[in-house]
Amino acid sequence: MSEINYLERPALVSLEYPETGEMKRALEGKRAVVTGGGKGIGKGISIRLAEAGAEVVIVGNSNMAMAEETAALIGSRGGKAYTFGVDLSKPESAAKVVAFAAEKMGGIDILVNNAAYQPNMDVTEYSAKLFKSVIDVNLISYLRMSMASFPYLKESGEGRIVNVGSVHSKRPTGFDFAYATSKGGVGMLTRETAAAFRPYGVTCNTILPGGTNIEFKTENPDMGKLHTIRTVRINRGRDFVAPGYRYGFPSDTGNLAVFLCSRLGEHYNGCAIRADGGMVLF
């Protein structure tokens, strides 16, 4: 796959504020945490949030070099980003992330739960232990991060949570049932969180990306060549030959995250919004 250009798409950056009629960056002064924010879709979200004016804590684990590169790119474009390495499958990890964000930024206005583990294995290849490890990262970490961040989100008055799900919460993957199961859980977690946090001015929504033009996953011991070939074969045969379909870009998801986290998104709560180019139509 060719190198991904994370800046090649238009960016949602500024809004006109009716109180004054002036144009300001959509997330000016906001403080954001993005888990899995150093590569792929998470990188696209981190960059777009920063372009719109937010400070960003980029949380990584297995490949902190990419997190550092993303932070450096944001800094080179006038933004402010920090990196923090942690294993989000561990119970104590969420509190550590939140403490770091509070120290660096003074609080949290935006939480983007994006960290994901996708071994790409058939059901017959899974063990109960591996299945649980997928759920721990893709679902339980979202719960922990949301609960740990809640005091700051509540204090913000305009707190936003964006959970990154997948179109595979709507349809089977055909290549990783644990991943799809975890993303199905993210959908209900989002609705329950939205209902629970609504009285405190905190919204929670899910973005459902489809096929997205990103780097292949790194340092994943379970994702070998066979699994990569299987994934590409199934997806191309089923989804990506439809007329008018294109792969998404990380910035497509990033722009939607900016929308949901800005004042434009204050009316949206408990929603699951597809960013899939119509993938589920075919």
Beta bridge partners of 274: 208
Residue 108, C-beta contacts closer than 8 angstroms, at least 6 positions apart: 31, 32, 33, 98, 101, 102, 149, 152, 153, 156, 159
- Cα–Cα dist 217/137, whole Å: 15
Q: Calculate the alpha carbon distances from 83 to 46, 80, 86, 126, 140 in Å.
A: 11, 11, 10, 32, 22
- The catalytically annotated residue of 117, 142, 179, 200 is 179
Are 39 and 220 within 8 A, CB to CB?
no
Phi, then psi, of 58 in degrees rounded to 5: -100, 115
Sequence letter at residue 188: M
Residues 73, 163, 3, 210, Cα dihedral to 10°: -160
Total residues found in the chain within this entry = 282
Sequence letter at residue 275: A
Q: Catalytic site residue 179?
A: yes
**Look-up of token digits 């990154």:** 164
- Cα–Cα dist 31/23, whole Å: 20
Catalytic residues: 179
